[in-house]
């Protein structure tokens, strides 16, 4: 089989994005159903090809990797994009945001994420990262008539540009140190022992970590997250919070796998510190936060900390914990932001805690999925979040970081208090008459059902998925 | 030649660079900076007055906010012009390195075709409408 | 092999439908759904039994999770024992569901009722068929929860809720032993499969086997209401009568003894545990028979009789006769559900009055069908030949008689004495409730009609109760010993010696007939004494038995009060002053940390960029330190 087949999913997404734009240019106002159906079709086609392609080493002149891990992450990204679109389509049409650019940009962003998840070369790495970041800048500002949306886009754009500059500088330093742009071999030769390549290589790595840390909202690079998540339209926040993070983790996983031992020796304490800081900086502020979207933003920061924990345990415990937790995270955050969007009135996304009062009775289904997602984020048993945290903690303790596991558990306990307040408002609050959202529509019901059922099902019977990942 | 002489000078110096030297240097720099900032903060009277806080100290009392909305009808067109103009950089650099091979020709043809598609999209979407008229 | 799975899942599907959509369904549709799923489960169980080829097998449905050695799975063990049990449970439950439609015809909470009822059947089928002990525990707890919800079903009355809570707490005390046993098994055998456990029990230390046996016995005592955990069952009469029938006959009380049957190959390795089972069974049988003799409430008589009869099952199992024990379990399920459903009819006719002394001969004339059914049920309960109970109880007594030790012989004497008491209280119930003159005040003036559907459900059960003995007739004829043949392949089943069987059977028959006559003399319409004389003769003994040997009071004084005092101290002093202070302090600390960290997020882009610089400096610092 020709190597070019491995570009087929990306090519399909590119064609899909162009088709969405073309449709918009020809019909000017295409029916939302047509756009959603078409976009889902392209995503499904890409997914089918990702499933069908045999695993291989680096292909296309060592530009792209395609092994089981990449396949898993790419499917996760495609699923996240599809579910986000299901959540977004009626949300956007009700608010007059459902232009062709929404669908095209989501498809292009997904293309960038696929590239990043499969990057075996620094150029592809930067290309994928920048492609989806550019699309996300615009998606965040989708509701351009609203100040908060624009403000969020700006607050994502300015640090994003700075971080991108640092990242590219880091890549340049690594290239200067090793003379190679290949991800694996450049990292391998940073450890050759000679100071000339080790020092600049590590400096480059530090700059890359900054860029990546910004994208993942790792503390202390996370301060943009609350504002951006709060300002972005909820389904866009769902996509921003899930797809982009997972793609970056896929790349980080390959990066860690390629690191030689002595570079890992230098990197492990950094990861240790970053994950501890991220866990605390995500969990603690959530506790007294009364704005639910900001709370979810902090929670997403904390979840990044758990993923980083799992990554830290990767050399000892293998990729299964990172992958399982990534899947759990995608479902939980999609469920939380997606159902928040469905519960929101057209006049503006629900944010203040009081707005959620009594929604468990007046809007039982979206509220139930929100509740399940929150319970899962809190890590309560019978949800996927519990199994994920459990697997991660076991791996972390086995890898010899009991203190980190302790911090993680502490963070989980503290954050659980924050989620419980939202749950309390949902089910025990007195319903307010203002702020009734619109009926979600069939597409969103499909997404709600899928997310809710998967969180519970994989929380009760995680065995098959865990077995698959091992 | 100069590099060599610097190297030579370093090698012949009995003093070797180390973490101690860096620390001393850092301490001196920080101390100097801190001292200057401290002194300037302590020694200046630092009295604020309404007049000092007004923008454009040109004798006139400002009226209204500085944040005005200006109608910029040409704004989008100007943006698009810039976008398309920047692409010329690629075309020039391609032209300099053009080796007259068909492959190279078709590559640039594809590139320009893409730009044209973008232009068509912008046009169709009403991005080139001048002024504040209705836009799709 | 889909039939056993359907047996399991049909009731679950019904419960799910009723829970999710029940409120929006018309009453008739909800009832049809509830009955149809259980009926479908019964049909599937029939199909599973018909397709059973005598080969025991394990059906692995799905893995659950895996932590270290602990890897429970959803797996079913299908052998003659479990399939027959599933058949009985689904069949009896189906009849009870039909009956419930009529019994609950005026109740507004029917959706909740049928939802729990379906869930109850599902939980029990899980216990019946599960091969994995963790999966089994799911059903075990499910049964406990459903009984809690159904006993306290009429929750307007605080006493009902208290009864439900009592049942839940007492069975939970037993569950602790189950969990401890499970932990021991996981650590020592690294497997939670019943089959594995039975197969590899020989590798365990003998003391370990005894310990496991005693722990499981304690757990079974909770569910099966045996000494010392039996006090919840008489109070469980607060439930609607069909629920009582379900708890006593099919879904809950037999769960404990059934668990011990599943574990028989392991437990039989420990003579001490076997003796303990037999002793608890015989003692409980006698204990509860005494208590049943003094009750006034028709359902309480039946409740104590269940405790007593399950005691016989324990005795049979402890004497090494699994076949006899299971035989009695099946026959008991038939006659006890018959008796309870008949009692439901009596109560309906009496406008919800439970006292047998206020019923009397008019009830016989009003509802002759109910009278006939109750007589048949009493014959089966009392072991009057040739009703089912005669053969099954006789077999257990014979097993106890032939068991080798002296202790077993003593237990046999105790159980035989209890058999006499059984006939007495069974026919006391019949004679007082259907022949006596209504005594006391407050009985209804006119009796209410009994719905036809309720009556109709009595006959199949009456037939099964009377003819139940045909399942395992003694002797050498080709039709005798069917159950024994069927169960022959089940691990833990042993054959009994044949000698002296006729002698013991004759003794049993004699006892039951003598008891019948004595009851007629004591409580019959032409009695020589006043019918209340036995109670009046020894009022203190009567009161003692009426209160169930004062066991409730004993537990209250010896366990509940000290526990309450301890809890009060822990709550007020340890928790209130000590731990709450700590927790509040920790919460304040977290809250303060939270507020100060939130202050970092000023919303200014410059703050983000400054943190970039700081973070980068930190990373570079660590790198330089580690690389140096």
How many C-beta atoms lie closer than 10 Å to residue C169's C-beta? 14
Helix axes C452-467, C388-402, angle to 10 degrees: 40
Chains in contact with chain C (at least 3 beta-carbon pairs closer than 8 A): A
In the predicted model, is pLDDT for residue A435 greater than 90? no
Those residues with Cβ within 8 angstroms of residue C467's Cβ, 6 or more apart along the chain or in another chain: C388
- Identify the band that residue C438 occupies on the pLDDT scale cut at 50, 70 and 90: low
Q: Are strands C73-78 and A64-66 parallel, antiparallel or unpaired?
A: unpaired
For A270-301, give one letter per residue: b (16+ CB within 10 A) or e: bbbbbbbbbbbbbbbbbbbbebbbbbbbbbbb
The pLDDT of residue B13 is 52
Q: Any bridge partners for residue C76, and if so which?
A: C59, C130
What would the pLDDT profile of B7-35 be if each residue is shown by its tens digit? 444 445 566 667 788 899 999 999 999 99
The pLDDT of residue C593 is 81
A166·C66 Cβ contact <8 A:
no
From the candidates A14, A25, A26, which should be mutated to test the interface with B, based on the most B CB atoms within 10 A? A25
3-state secondary structure of C57: strand
Between A180 and C235, where is the model more confident? Answer: A180
Q: Which of A67, A61, A232, A219 is nearest to A138 (CA)?
A: A232
Q: Helix, strand, coil proportions of chain A in percent (round to 5)? A: 80, 5, 20
What would the pLDDT profile of C459-493 be if each residue is shown by its tens digit? 888 888 888 777 777 766 666 777 777 777 777 67
Distance to chain A for C72, nearest Cα, Å: 10
Domain ranges for chain B, please list them. Answer: 75-124
- Identify the band that residue C526 occupies on the pLDDT scale cut at 50, 70 and 90: low
A25·B136 Cβ contact <8 A:
no
What is the distance between the alpha carbons of residues C435 and C523, in angstroms, rounded to a whole number?
Answer: 9
A25·B121 Cβ contact <8 A:
yes
pTM over 0.80: no
What is the distance between the alpha carbons of residues A300 and A224, in angstroms, rounded to a whole number?
Answer: 12
Contact (CB, 8 A) for A84 and A237: no
Structure tokens at A69: 């891990």
What interface predicted TM-score (ipTM) does this complex get? 0.89
The pLDDT of residue B1 is 41
| Residue of chain A nearest B119, judged by CA positions | A25
CA–CA distances in Å: residue A363 to residues A347, A404, C477: 17, 39, 68
What is the distance between the alpha carbons of residues C628 and C624, in angstroms, rounded to a whole number?
Answer: 6
Range of lowest pLDDT (A292-296, C91-95, C267-271, C471-475): C471-475
In the predicted model, is pLDDT for residue A394 greater than 80? yes
What would the pLDDT profile of B29-75 be if each residue is shown by its tens digit? 999 999 999 998 888 877 777 767 776 656 677 777 777 777 676 77
Across A55-64, C399-408, C466-475, C565-574, the highest mean pLDDT is recorded for: A55-64
| Residue of chain A nearest C627, judged by CA positions | A266
What is the distance between the alpha carbons of residues C225 and A344, in angstroms, rounded to a whole number?
Answer: 53
Tell whether B14 lies on the interface with A, counting CB pairs under 8 A: no
The pLDDT of residue C538 is 66
Tell whether C610 lies on the interface with A, counting CB pairs under 8 A: no
Q: Any bridge partners for residue C77, and if so which?
A: C58
In the predicted model, is pLDDT for residue C282 greater than 70? yes
A24·B120 Cβ contact <8 A:
no
C611·A220 Cβ contact <8 A:
yes
For B113-135, give one letter per residue: b (16+ CB within 10 A) or e: eeeeeeeebbebbeeeeeeeeee
The pLDDT of residue A70 is 93
DSSP state of C559: I
Q: Which of C600, C581, C590 is nearest to A411 (CA)?
A: C590
Domain ranges for chain A, please list them. Answer: 1-257, 260-470
Distance to chain C for A29, nearest Cα, Å: 37
| Residue of chain A nearest B124, judged by CA positions | A25
Contact (CB, 8 A) for A202 and A266: yes
What is the distance between the alpha carbons of residues C95 and C106, in angstroms, rounded to a whole number?
Answer: 19
Contact (CB, 8 A) for A392 and A325: yes
| Residue of chain B nearest A21, judged by CA positions | B121
The pLDDT of residue C576 is 66
What is the distance between the alpha carbons of residues C124 and C86, in angstroms, rounded to a whole number?
Answer: 9
- Identify the band that residue A436 occupies on the pLDDT scale cut at 50, 70 and 90: low
Dihedral pair phi/psi, residue C452, rounded to 5°: -65, -40
- Identify the band that residue A16 occupies on the pLDDT scale cut at 50, 70 and 90: very high
| Element spanning A57, H or E | strand A56-59
What is the distance between the alpha carbons of residues C628 and C619, in angstroms, rounded to a whole number?
Answer: 14
B136·A28 Cβ contact <8 A:
yes
From the candidates C12, C626, C628, which should be mutated to test the interface with A, based on the most A CB atoms within 10 A? C626
CA angle C597, A331, A251 (to 5 degrees): 75
Range of lowest pLDDT (A400-414, C13-27, C436-450): C436-450
What is the distance between the alpha carbons of residues C45 and B37, in angstroms, rounded to a whole number?
Answer: 88
Distance to chain C for A218, nearest Cα, Å: 10
Q: Which of B41, B22, B42 is nearest to B30 (CA)?
A: B22
What is the distance between the alpha carbons of residues C94 and A28, in angstroms, rounded to a whole number?
Answer: 63
In the predicted model, is pLDDT for residue A382 greater than 50? yes
Task: Using CB atoms, pick whichever of A210, A214, A226 lies closest to residue C601.
Answer: A226
From the candidates B17, B83, B115, B136, which should be mutated to test the interface with A, based on the most A CB atoms within 10 A? B136
The pLDDT of residue C196 is 83
Q: What dihedral angle (degrees, nearest 10) is formed by the CA atoms of C603, C609, C612, C613? A: -140
Distance to chain A for C394, nearest Cα, Å: 47
Tell whether B98 lies on the interface with A, counting CB pairs under 8 A: no
Task: Using CB atoms, pick whichever of A158, A266, A463 lies closest to residue C605.
Answer: A158
The pLDDT of residue B10 is 45
What would the pLDDT profile of C299-329 be if each residue is shown by its tens digit? 888 888 888 999 999 998 888 888 888 888 8
3-state secondary structure of C450: coil
The pLDDT of residue B17 is 61
- Chain B residues with CB-CB distance to A25 below 8 A: 120-121, 124-125
């Amino acid at each position: 089989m020709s190597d070019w087949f491995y570009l087929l999913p990306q090519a399909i997404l590119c064609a899909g994005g162009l088709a969405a734009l073309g449709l918009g240019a020809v019909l000017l106002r295409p029916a939302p159903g047509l756009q959603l159906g078409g976009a889902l079709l392209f995503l499904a086609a890409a997914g089918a090809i990702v499933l069908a392609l045999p695993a291989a080493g680096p292909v296309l002149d060592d530009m792209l990797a395609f092994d089981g891990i990449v396949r898993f992450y790419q499917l996760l990204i495609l699923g996240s994009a599809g579910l986000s679109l299901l959540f977004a389509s009626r949300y956007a049409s009700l608010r007059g945001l459902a232009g062709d650019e929404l669908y095209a940009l989501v498809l292009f962003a997904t293309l960038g994420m696929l590239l990043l998840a499969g990057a075996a070369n620094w150029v592809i790495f930067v290309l994928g990262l920048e492609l989806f970041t550019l699309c996300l800048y615009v998606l965040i500002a989708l509701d351009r008539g609203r100040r908060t949306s624009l403000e969020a886009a700006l607050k994502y754009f300015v640090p994003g540009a700075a971080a991108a500059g640092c990242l590219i500088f880091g890549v340049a330093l690594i290239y200067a140190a090793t003379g190679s742009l290949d991800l694996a071999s450049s990292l391998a030769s940073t450890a050759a022992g000679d100071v000339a390549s080790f020092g600049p290589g590590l400096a480059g790595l530090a700059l890359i970590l900054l860029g990546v840390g910004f994208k993942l909202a790792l503390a202390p690079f996370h301060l943009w997250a609350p504002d951006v998540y709060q300002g972005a339209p909820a389904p866009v926040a769902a996509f921003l919070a899930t797809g982009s993070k997972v793609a970056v983790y896929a790349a980080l996983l390959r990066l860690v796998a390629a690191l030689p031992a002595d570079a890992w020796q230098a990197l492990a304490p950094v990861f240790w510190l970053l994950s501890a800081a991220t866990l605390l900086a995500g969990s603690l502020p959530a506790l007294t936060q009364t704005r639910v979207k900001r709370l979810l933003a902090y929670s997403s920061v904390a979840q990044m900390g758990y993923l980083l924990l799992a990554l830290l345990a990767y050399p000892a415990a293998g990729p299964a914990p990172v992958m399982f937790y990534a899947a759990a995270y995608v479902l939980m955050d999609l469920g939380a932001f997606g159902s928040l969007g469905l519960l929101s009135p057209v006049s503006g996304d629900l944010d203040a805690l009081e707005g959620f009062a009594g929604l468990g009775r007046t809007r039982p289904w979206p509220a139930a999925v929100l509740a399940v997602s929150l319970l899962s984020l809190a890590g309560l048993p019978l949800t996927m979040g519990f199994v994920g945290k459990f697997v991660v903690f076991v791996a972390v303790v086995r890898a010899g970081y009991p203190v980190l596991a302790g911090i993680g558990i502490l963070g989980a306990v503290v954050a659980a208090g924050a989620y419980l307040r939202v749950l309390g408002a949902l089910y025990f609050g007195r319903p307010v008459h203002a702020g009734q959202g619109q009926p979600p529509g069939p597409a969103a019901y499909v997404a709600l059902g899928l997310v809710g059922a998967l969180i519970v099902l994989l929380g009760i019977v995680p065995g098959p998925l865990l077995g698959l990942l091992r | 030649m100069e590099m060599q002489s610097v190297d030579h000078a370093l090698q012949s110096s009995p003093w070797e660079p180390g973490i101690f030297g860096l620390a001393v240097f850092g301490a001196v720099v920080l101390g100097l900076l801190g001292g200057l900032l401290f002194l300037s903060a302590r020694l200046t009277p630092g009295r604020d007055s309404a007049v000092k806080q007004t923008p454009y100290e040109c004798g006139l009392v400002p009226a209204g906010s500085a944040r005005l909305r200006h109608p910029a009808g040409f704004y989008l067109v100007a943006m698009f012009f810039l976008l398309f103009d920047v692409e010329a950089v690629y075309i020039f650099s391609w032209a300099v390195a053009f080796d007259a091979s068909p492959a190279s020709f078709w590559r640039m043809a594809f590139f320009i075709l893409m730009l044209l598609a973008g232009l068509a999209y912008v046009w169709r979407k009403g991005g080139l409408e001048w002024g504040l008229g209705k836009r799709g | 092999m889909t039939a056993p799975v359907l047996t399991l899942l049909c009731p679950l599907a019904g419960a799910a439908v009723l829970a999710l959509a029940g409120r929006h369904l018309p009453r008739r549709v909800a009832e049809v759904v509830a009955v149809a799923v259980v009926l479908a489960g019964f049909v599937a169980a029939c199909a599973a039994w018909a397709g059973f080829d005598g080969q025991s097998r394990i059906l692995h449905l799905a893995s659950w999770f895996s932590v270290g050695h602990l890897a429970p799975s959803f797996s079913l063990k299908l052998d003659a024992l479990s399939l027959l049990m599933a058949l009985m449970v689904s069949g009896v439950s189906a009849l009870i569901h039909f009956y419930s439609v009529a019994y609950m015809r005026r109740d507004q909470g029917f959706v909740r009722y049928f939802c729990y009822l379906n869930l109850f059947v599902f939980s029990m089928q899980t216990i019946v068929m599960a091969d994995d002990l963790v999966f089994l525990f799911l059903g075990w707890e499910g049964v406990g929860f459903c009984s809690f919800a159904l006993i306290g079903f009429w929750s307007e009355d605080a006493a009902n809720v208290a009864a439900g809570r009592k049942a839940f707490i007492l069975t939970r005390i037993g569950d602790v032993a189950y969990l401890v046993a499970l932990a021991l098994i996981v650590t020592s055998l690294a497997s939670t499969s019943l089959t594995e456990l039975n197969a590899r029990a020989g590798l365990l230390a003998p003391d370990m086997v005894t310990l496991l046996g005693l722990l499981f016995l304690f757990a079974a005592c909770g569910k099966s209401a045996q000494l010392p955990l039996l006090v919840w069952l008489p109070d469980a009469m607060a439930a609607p009568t069909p629920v009582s029938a379900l708890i006593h006959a099919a879904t809950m009380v037999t769960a404990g003894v059934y668990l011990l049957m599943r574990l028989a190959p392991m437990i039989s390795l420990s003579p001490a545990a076997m003796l303990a089972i037999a002793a608890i069974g015989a003692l409980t049988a006698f204990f509860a028979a005494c208590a049943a003799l003094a009750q006034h409430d028709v359902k309480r008589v039946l409740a104590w009789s269940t405790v007593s009869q399950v005691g016989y099952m324990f005795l049979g199992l402890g004497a090494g006769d699994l076949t006899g024990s299971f035989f009695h379990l099946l026959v008991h399920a038939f006659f006890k559900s018959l008796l309870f459903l008949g009692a439901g009819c009596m109560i309906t006719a009496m406008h919800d009055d439970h006292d047998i002394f206020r019923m009397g001969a008019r009830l016989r004339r009003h509802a002759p069908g109910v009278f006939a059914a109750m007589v048949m049920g009493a014959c089966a309960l009392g072991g009057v030949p040739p009703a089912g109970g005669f053969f099954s109880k006789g077999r257990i007594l014979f097993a106890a008689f032939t068991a080798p030790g002296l202790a077993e012989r003593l237990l046999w004497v105790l159980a035989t004495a209890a058999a006499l008491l059984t006939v007495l209280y069974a026919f006391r119930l019949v004679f007082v409730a259907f022949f006596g003159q209504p005594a006391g005040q407050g009985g209804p003036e006119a009796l209410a009609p009994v719905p036809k559907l309720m009556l109709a459900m009595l006959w199949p059960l009456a037939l099964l109760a009377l003819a139940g003995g045909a399942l395992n007739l003694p002797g050498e004829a080709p039709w005798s010993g069917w159950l024994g043949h069927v169960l022959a392949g089940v691990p833990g089943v042993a054959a009994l010696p044949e000698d002296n069987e006729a002698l013991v059977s004759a003794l049993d028959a004699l006892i039951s007939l003598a008891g019948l006559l004595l009851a007629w003399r004591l409580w019959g319409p032409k009695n020589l004494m006043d019918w209340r004389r036995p109670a009046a003769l020894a009022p203190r003994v009567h009161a003692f038995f009426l209160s169930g040997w004062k066991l409730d009071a004993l537990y209250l004084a010896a366990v509940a009060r000290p526990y309450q005092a301890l809890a009060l101290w822990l709550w007020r002093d340890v928790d209130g002053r000590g731990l709450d202070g700590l927790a509040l302090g920790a919460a304040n600390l977290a809250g303060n940390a939270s507020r100060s960290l939130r202050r970092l997020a000023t919303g200014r882009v410059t703050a983000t960029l400054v943190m970039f610089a700081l973070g980068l400096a930190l990373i570079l610092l660590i790198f330089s330190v580690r690389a140096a």
